[in-house]
């Protein structure tokens, strides 16, 4: 068991893509965590498939290393605002934070969010200006920006007196005095700064055991594993425990196995003391936010309040003509069990039953938060359909209020007008405009959350893929009024069948197609985007008929424009209130809620009356 004086608990927090996971890689490598001949992947902490594919961190993860006899427990947190719940619960386990800021980009929306949470918990910060060696880096200007942010967030004098270190996580060096001509060679100064500036855990060693469950791990053999920092006392293998539940009740439990984090692995332990991060196996129904205590001192700890969800969607059983062809789990029972199981570890998510057993309302922090859940479910073999995301309104003092986000867009100067027009059309207001390096301009806006649905894809198209778009929830304000979310209609399949080149050739003149030839379609399925602000129904299965003078295939070959392949996020952005997205392990199909063409026409006529 390690002496509490030799423990440091830190979280690495930052805006997305500022280099948190890469820095952790370098820290683990230089601390001797890996064998000299061990082959280690890049971004080794991003362990699940989606994290590796998207290059982002989704789940907060624990690791540890040793430096001169001091154990440093590290929590690598996500950078996207949608996964803020992972950041918030991770901060419960630490005594200090490394605030990473990109030496070129400087303070971004998520920098403000994660720093505000750390300061509110009175954690000790260390400013790490990362990527100090990148072209056009402005490390000393960025330090000034960060200190201004500290002041803006009401930091105390002690927090303002935070140390600063310049680093390159990719190249594995850190130094307090950065010289571009002669950078440091290793992370020694960073390790020494952590040991010196981050306090050891402030815990009671001899008091009865108490631990707040901040994370849930899972093992195929031992089941659920509760992870958290021991607030007081110590725990031994086989020790009887009591769990203080969220509903105020208590239940008996037993610590069948204990683990501490050693590098990337969980190491079995017989005894773990106050201040260390421990994983407890043997409590089958444990949940995040509950407190595990000594049987003689059932004393629950308050759990950090997780910010409320902003967007909601309806998940329902797939009822399209192709239902059941792909999925392994297709019934409402399967869907319900999976969604409610997600609540065990996804603390920012909300799931509610509806007035039908076939559908469930799922609420999250943003489109990315919900799309990651959808992608995970389809990879697990689930088949279902989802509605378009809608914002969650609040009633404040009798007034209908909506979530407002702080939007930051970095773009080349020539596109500023196009971006401003797009934001103004979505009820946004510009709050700041400032030049950055290389003829780029940073625009800041306050915009309703509903205005961001579909915004990113439109801006990337308008700026030829050069825009860098970030946003974070700022506040709630009275409803801003209606605006048109989508200014183009859908191209809809007329009948069931298989798409034919001849039918597609005639349809592509009416807009942008999402499918090519040889694709199975059904009536009411969306096969493209109309060039006008109205839906168009086309027969993509139409064949060219033979005549007395020529065969059906005798004309010169028809050339089709390559179809636009839609990602999951693009599909969610595209679908309107009267549309659904059919999600299966192998397909994403957009469709109308009412599939039959004549029934849609009757429904539209009734609405006009």
CA gap 56, 59 in Å, rounded: 9
Pair (49, 181) in one structural domain: yes
CB atoms within 10 A of CB 200: 16
**What phi, psi does 405 have (nearest 5°)?**
-110, 150
Measured distance CA(228)–CA(89) in Å, rounded: 10
Domain C-terminal end among 422, 453, 478:
478
Q: Which long-range contacts (CB under 8 A, 24 or more apart) does 168-173 make?
A: 168/130, 168/131, 168/132, 168/133, 169/19, 169/20, 169/22, 169/23, 169/24, 169/25, 169/26, 169/130, 169/131, 170/19, 170/22, 170/26, 170/131, 171/26, 171/133, 172/26, 172/29, 172/30
Same domain (yes/no): 509, 554: yes
Rounded-to-integer distance, Cα 357 and Cα 360, Å: 8
Residues 561 and 590 in one domain: yes
Cβ-based neighbours of 186, under 8 Å, separated by 6 or more: 30, 172, 173, 174
Domain boundary (428, 457, 478) is at 478
How far lies 380's CA from each of 55, 74, 335, 585, in Å? Answer: 21, 30, 12, 8
Percent of the chain with pLDDT over 70: 90
Rounded to two decimals, the pTM is 0.76
> Pick the residue with more confidence: 545 or 529?
529
Q: Is 79 helix (H, G, I), strand (E, B) or coil?
A: coil
Highest mean pLDDT among 37-51, 224-238, 463-477: 224-238
Q: What is the dihedral of CA 385, 387, 391, 397, to 10 degrees?
A: -100
471 and 583 part of one domain: no
- Give the CA dihedral 475, 479, 480, 484, nearest 10 degrees: 110
User: Residue 335 domain-assigned?
Assistant: no
Domain match, 8 and 148 both: yes
Chain Cα centroid distance, residue 605: 41
Residues 462 and 547 both lie in one domain:
no
Nearest by Cα to 263 from 487, 98, 31, 53: 31
In this prediction, residue 584 has a pLDDT band, given cuts at 50, 70 and 90, of very high
Number of independent structural domains in the chain: 4
357 assigned to some structural domain:
no
* Core vs surface per residue 58-91: b (16+ CB within 10 A) or e: bbbbbbbbbbeebbbbbbbbbbbbbbbbbbbbbb
Tell me the C-alpha distance between 462 and 245, whole Å: 51
Which of 598, 504, 488 lies closest to 560, judged by CA?
504
Write the pLDDT tens digit of every residue in 332-380.
Answer: 999 999 999 888 777 778 999 999 999 999 998 888 889 889 999 999 9
Mean predicted confidence (pLDDT) in 455-478: 82
**pLDDT for position 313:** 94
How far is residue 88's CA from residue 92's CA, in Å, rounded to a whole number? 7
| pLDDT at 265 (0 to 100) | 78
What is the Cα–Cα distance from 441 to 423, expressed in whole angstroms? 15
Are 134 and 17 in contact by the 8 Å Cβ rule? The answer is no
pLDDT at 47 exceeding the cut of 60:
no
Report CA-CA distances (Å) from 530 to 53, 491, 574.
31, 5, 12
Same-domain pairing of 428 and 400: yes
138 in the same domain as 29: yes
**CATH code of the domain covering residue 503:** 2.40.50.250
The Cα 67–Cα 192 span in angstroms is 8
Tell me the residue length of the chain: 609
Determine, yes or no, domain membership for 331.
no
In a domain, 359, yes or no: no
Selection from 232, 311, 315 nearest residue 276 by Cα: 232
Between strands 399-412 and 429-436, the pairing is: unpaired
The 10s digit of each residue's pLDDT in 405-464 is 888 888 888 888 888 988 888 899 999 888 876 677 888 999 999 888 878 777 877 888
Domain boundary among 197, 225, 260: 197
Which residues constitute the domain of residue 494?
490-608
Residue 220 has what pLDDT? 67
Q: Are residues 31 and 134 in the same domain?
A: yes
Give the rounded percent of residues in the chain with a pLDDT score beyond 90: 36
The answer on 275 and 136 residing in a single domain is no
Residue 38 has pLDDT above 50, yes or no: no
C-alpha span between 453 and 573 (Å, rounded): 6
* Residue 379 CB-density burial (10 A; 0-12 exposed, 13-18 middle, 19+ buried): exposed
Q: Number of helices and strands (H, E) in the chain?
A: 14, 36
Residue 314 lies in a domain: no
- 528 pLDDT above the threshold of 60: yes
Please tell me what DSSP assigns to residue 321: T
77 found inside a domain: yes
Mean pLDDT of 216-220: 73
| Per-residue pLDDT band at 40 (split at 50, 70, 90) | very low
More confidently predicted of 474 and 59: 474
Confidence of residue 488 (pLDDT cuts 50, 70, 90): confident
**What pLDDT is attached to residue 580?**
95
Phi-psi region of 438 (alpha: psi -120 to 50; beta: other; left: phi over 0): left
Close Cβ partners of 566 (under 8 Å, ≥ 6 residues apart): 514, 574, 588, 590
Is 267 inside any structural domain? yes
Distance between CA atoms of 289 and 282, rounded to whole angstroms? 17
Mean pLDDT score across all residues of the chain = 84
CATH code for position 463 = 3.30.70.240
Q: Strand 399-412 and strand 468-478: pairing?
A: antiparallel
Residue 551 banded pLDDT, cuts 50, 70, 90 = low
**Confidence category of residue 550, pLDDT binned at 50, 70, 90:** low
pLDDT at 609: 65
- Cα gap 569→567, rounded to integer Å: 5
- Under the banding of pLDDT at 50, 70 and 90, the label for residue 86 is low
Q: Confidence class of residue 554 from pLDDT cuts 50, 70 and 90?
A: very low
Burial class (CB in 10 A: 0-12, 13-18, 19+), 308: middle
Q: For residue 274, what is the domain's CATH number?
A: 2.40.30.10
**Is the same domain home to 408 and 462?**
yes
Which token pair is 253?
């439990």
Looking at residue 450, the DSSP 8-state letter turns out to be G
* pLDDT tier, 43 (very low <50, low <70, confident <90, very high otherwise): very low
Rounded mean pLDDT of 496-517? 89
| Placement of tokens 């999600």 in the chain | 583
Q: Which of 230, 202, 232, 24 is nearest to 122 (CA)?
A: 202
CATH number, domain of 16, equals: 3.40.50.300
User: Are 524 and 585 within one domain?
Assistant: yes
Q: Is residue 277 part of a domain?
A: yes
Question: Over 90: is that where the pLDDT of 51 sits?
Answer: no
């Amino acid at each position: 068991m390690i002496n509490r004086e030799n423990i440091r608990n830190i979280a690495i927090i930052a805006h997305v893509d500022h280099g948190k996971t890469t820095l952790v890689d370098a820290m683990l490598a230089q601390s001797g965590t890996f064998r000299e001949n061990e082959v280690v992947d890049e971004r080794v902490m991003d362990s699940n498939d989606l994290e590796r594919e998207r290059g982002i961190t989704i789940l907060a993860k624990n690791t540890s290393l040793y430096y001169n006899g001091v154990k440093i427990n590290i929590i690598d947190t996500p950078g996207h605002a949608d996964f803020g719940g992972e950041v918030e619960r991770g901060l419960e386990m630490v005594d200090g934070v490394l605030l990473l800021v990109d030496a070129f980009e400087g303070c971004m929306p998520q920098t403000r969010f994660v720093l505000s949470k750390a300061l509110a918990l009175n954690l000790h910060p260390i400013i790490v200006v990362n990527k100090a060696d990148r072209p056009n880096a402005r490390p000393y200007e960025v330090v000034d920006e960060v200190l201004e942010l500290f002041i803006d967030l009401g930091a105390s004098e002690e927090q303002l007196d935070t140390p600063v270190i310049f680093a390159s996580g990719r190249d594995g060096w850190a130094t307090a005095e950065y010289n571009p001509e002669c950078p440091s060679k290793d992370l020694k100064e960073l390790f020494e700064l952590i040991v010196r500036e981050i306090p050891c855990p402030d815990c009671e060693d001899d008091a009865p055991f108490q631990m707040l469950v901040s994370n849930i791990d899972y093992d195929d053999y031992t089941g659920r594993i509760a992870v958290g920092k021991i607030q007081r006392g110590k725990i031994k293998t086989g020790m009887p425990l009591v769990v203080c539940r969220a509903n105020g009740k208590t239940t008996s439990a037993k610590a069948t196995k204990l683990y501490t984090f050693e590098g990337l692995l969980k190491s079995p332990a017989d005894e773990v003391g106050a201040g260390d991060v421990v994983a407890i196996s043997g409590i089958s129904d444990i949940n995040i936010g509950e407190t595990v205590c000594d049987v003689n001192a059932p004393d629950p700890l308050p759990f950090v309040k997780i910010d409320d969800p902003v967007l909601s969607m309806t998940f329902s059983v797939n009822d399209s003509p192709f239902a059941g062809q792909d999925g392994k789990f297709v019934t409402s029972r399967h869907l319900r069990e999976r969604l409610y199981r997600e609540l065990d570890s996804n603390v920012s998510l909300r799931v509610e039953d509806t007035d039908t057993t076939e559908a469930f309302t799922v609420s999250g922090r943003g489109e990315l938060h919900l799309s990651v859940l959808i992608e995970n479910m389809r990879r697990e073999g689930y088949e279902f359909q989802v509605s378009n995301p809608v914002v969650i309104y609040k009633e404040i003092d009798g007034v209908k209020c909506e979530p407002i986000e702080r939007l930051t867009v970095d773009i080349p100067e020539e596109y500023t007008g196009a971006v401003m027009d797009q934001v103004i059309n979505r009820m946004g207001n510009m709050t700041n405009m400032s030049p950055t390096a290389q003829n780029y301009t940073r625009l800041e806006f306050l915009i309703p959350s509903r205005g961001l649905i579909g915004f990113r894809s439109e801006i990337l198209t308008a700026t030829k893929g050069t825009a860098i778009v970030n946003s974070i929830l700022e506040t709630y304000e009275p409803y801003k009024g209606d605006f048109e979310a989508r200014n183009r209609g859908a191209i809809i399949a007329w009948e069931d069948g298989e798409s034919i080149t001849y039918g597609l050739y005639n349809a592509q003149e009416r807009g942008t197609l999402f499918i090519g030839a040889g694709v199975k379609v059904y009536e009411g399925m969306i096969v493209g985007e109309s060039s006008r602000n109205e839906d168009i129904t086309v027969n993509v299965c139409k064949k060219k008929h033979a005549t007395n003078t020529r065969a059906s295939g005798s004309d010169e070959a028809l050339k089709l424009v390559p179809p636009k392949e839609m990602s999951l996020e693009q599909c969610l952005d595209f679908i309107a209130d009267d549309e659904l997205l059919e999600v299966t392990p192998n397909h994403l199909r957009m469709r109308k809620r009412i599939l039959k063409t004549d029934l849609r026409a009757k429904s539209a006529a009734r609405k006009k009356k």
